[in-house]
Amino acid sequence: MSGRPNISSLILKPGECLAIQDTIHEYLARTDFVSSSNLRSRYYEATGARNSRDRGVGLGSVFHRLMLEEPEDFELDLPTLRDDWLAGTKRSSGYCLGQSDLHRINGAREKLNHWSEHLFSKWVKSGQAETSIYWKDELCCQWRARPDLVTQDLVVDLKTFSGKNQKRFLKSRDRNGYLIQAGLYLEALRRLNDRSIGFAFLCIDLTPPFDIRLDVLDKAQIVLAQNLICQLKNQ
């Protein structure tokens, strides 16, 4: 793994790939590198599909940070949530995350920490979380990916839902367009480590009883993800 180069001068040669422990803000600021979000936008435009987003999106961002960046004994309270983590992110509707949302986040956190004999906790301790990967391909196009979690043999992407959204996601052939994310993340790991690795969506409902599903992609789904990436790159 590489150290942290100067933020303003990340220059890669064709075929070069590196991993950096930068912040999410630094990662998002590198707009000269194409991300899976950029490709999904092209996909939604081309297919007419819509990426449904709801109140759970704010909860999801908080949950990701809590599970992937903070120690297990960290206690999140409402003042910290509102004044630090969500400063300046109040919704246009005027809705602000409150005490009931905090209870949901903490309930889902406890459920996931105890899921499958503490498997997620073991993954976080032994794997790499929130590492940015940048590369330039042979056509001099620049790409970026930031997998939630990479274990010894699996890329794990944490997906949060509310209500019936989780079931709809799992029934969708293209996982609501997020197979594109899987395809780009797998390409990033292949370029970085020159080895094959699996991919799974770890889905958790942020409403009680906090249902959890591990959606490991099979070979056919990975091929579909790779095909989607190829099609979108050629647009």
Rounded to 10°, the helix 219-233/179-193 angle is 90
Asked if 58 and 97 touch (Cβ cutoff 8 Å), the reply is yes
CA of residue 43 relative to chain centroid, distance: 18
Give the C-alpha separation, 123 to 30, whole Å.
28
- What phi and psi values does residue 2 have, to the nearest 5 degrees? -85, 160
pTM summary value = 0.90
Q: What is the pLDDT of residues 187-228, one digit of tens each?
A: 999 999 988 899 999 999 999 999 999 999 999 999 999 999
Task: Give the tens place of pLDDT for each residue, 137-169.
Answer: 999 999 999 999 999 999 999 999 988 899 999
Domains of the chain: 19-233 (3.90.320.10)
CB 182 within 8 A of CB 148: no
